[in-house]
A and B are shown apart, each in its own frame.
Chain A
Amino acid sequence: RKEVEQDPGPFNVPEGATVAFNCTYSNSASQSFFWYRQDCRKEPKLLMSVYSSGNEDGRFTAQLNRASQYISLLIRDSKLSDSATYLCVVIYGNKLVFGAGTILRVKS
């Protein structure tokens, strides 16, 4: 079983749609959680941290459920520029462990 699992998608949505991605992790000792964004043939970049209480950054909302070992990312009012791969990331010890990513394509 992979340490971090995501639905690979692709999610094809129209502009303005709301879309949600989910992620599960296997190690209950995981300490911290994040979403990264990766554009095609580019390096990954930190999008936002994920807290148990839930946190928002503009159109993006992240949520953590420790009991279910489940992380989510909600994007409201999707823009064309949101098209990318979204990587779920968990810290184990000294290293960041990445999921395989979920592809989002926003179309006009």
Chain B
Amino acid sequence: GAGVSQTPSNKVTEKGKYVELRCDPISGHTALYWYRQSLGQGPEFLIYFQGTGAADDSGLPNDRFFAVRPEGSVSTLKIQRTERGDSAVYLCASSTPGQMNTGELFFGEGSRLTVL
């Protein structure tokens, strides 16, 4: 289908390791968001890209988290020195600017990260 694609769907890693999570947005969507969802909680904003640039990274919890979108399409969320508290579902969403005004973000199915 033509939806938002995220890989891997599941990732199990050990404390201290480095992890990359990939998001392939819907073609033509210039806005891309990363959210993190812990069990029993709503999605928590991490970072927003408009094109290639990070327009708002205020949600990144610390400097272990970094995200890029070098060509304005695919984005990678990078987590260094993972901690057990990083375990969550990482959701990517995309939209056009018009859709953002109407509140419609198209989410991928998420990458479930487990840090042992």
Residues of A within 8 A of B (CB): 4, 8, 32-34, 42-46, 49, 87, 89, 91, 93-101
Contact = CB atoms under 8 A, between A and B. Distances in A.
Contacts, number: 51
A45 B50 CA distance: 21
A43 B107 contact: yes
A96 B105 contact: yes
Interface of B: 33, 35, 40-45, 48, 50, 55-56, 59, 91, 100-105, 107-110
Contacts of A4: 42
Given A4-B42, A100-B42, 12 more contacts: A8-B40, A32-B101, A44-B43, A49-B103, A87-B43, A94-B48, A94-B56, A95-B33, A95-B56, A98-B44, A101-B41, A101-B42
Contacts of B109: 42-43
B45 A96 contact: yes
